[in-house]
Amino acid sequence: MDPALLKERKAFIDRAKAQPVVEKRKKGKDVSEDRAAKKHKSSSSFKPKSESNSAPFDYKSSSGSSQFKFAILAKIVKYMKSRHLNGDTHPLTIDEILDETNQLDVGSKIKHWLITEALNNNPKIKVVENGQKYAFKPKFDIRDKTSLMKLLKYQDLHGLGGVLKEDVEESLPNAEKALKSLGEHIITIVRPNDKKEILFYNDKYCRYKVDEEFQKLWRGVSVDGLDDKKIEEYLEKQGISSMQDVGLKKAAQIKRKKGGGKRKTFKKHNEHLDGVLEDYSETVK
């Protein structure tokens, strides 16, 4: 090949390398969109060190939702009840409670809420030792079958009725064993509306035997379809008048007198001019 042509070709390549190259943009792509994409890419690639290396969010160390807080409280109340029924009635501090319920990782805000509000206002928890310790607060302060018998006697003596069996089981450790040992001293009645068992004291001094003949007469009397008035008339025919004073007496209705008997009197005015004024109606025509 001609050396002159080779020399010109080399010079052309050198000039082409020395000139800047302009990249042709793609069709349909706006310049502003390209700038926004570059800006987003640069901002996402350069994250702050604290944000990129931060630890994962711990929901227990945060303030938490109300559902999570009350779940912690429910677990504490359930544990305090179970330990009370097991005979452990000595109070615990908040740290001891959280330790025994495996909840030492709760946040400071939830712990402060438990100390200042939740445990103090819970009806199943009592605060002792100047607010430093907590214990379970049962419905009744009973610890054995003797105290249970005293409670039932007190209820019967003062006319307060029976007590719920579930309240006794919540208050007394080994309640079933105590109820079984008392045996005939307790009467159990099932309440018809909610099927809950009610415990009453069975007073042996109130036991008496009704004659069987009297029971037959009592059960043989039929009062279906009879009201109180008809029953009273029947008893009066049989010479029995004891029903007259039984029950509440109805207050007699006060009958109001109808008006119209007397006319209302009106006060007269200008009585000092009586006899002075004269009537001129006849003279005026």
* pLDDT at 56 (0 to 100): 45
- In 57-93, alpha helices (H): 66-85
Question: Of the candidates 92, 101, 99, 100, which has an alpha carbon nearest to the alpha carbon of residue 127?
Answer: 92
* pLDDT at 61 (0 to 100): 44
Query: With a cut of 50, which residues of the chain have pLDDT below it?
Result: 29, 45-64, 243, 245-248
Q: List 189's β-bridge partners, or say none.
A: 198
Domain 66-136, classified CATH 2.40.30.20, yes or no? no
Q: List 198's β-bridge partners, or say none.
A: 164, 189
Place of tokens 């004891």: 242
> How far apart are the C-alpha atoms of 194 and 98, rounded to whole Å?
36
Would you kindly state where each structural domain of the chain is located, as residue ranges? Answer: 66-136, 145-206
Are the C-beta atoms of 86 and 97 separated by less than 8 Å? Answer: no
> How far apart are the C-alpha atoms of 121 and 124, rounded to whole Å?
9
* pLDDT at 278 (0 to 100): 66
Spell out the residues 6+ positions from residue 23 whose beta carbon is closer than 8 angstroms to its own. Answer: none
Q: How far is CA 214 from CA 79, 201, 217, in A?
A: 56, 27, 5
Spell out the residues 6+ positions from residue 181 whose beta carbon is closer than 8 angstroms to its own. Answer: 145
* pLDDT at 145 (0 to 100): 86
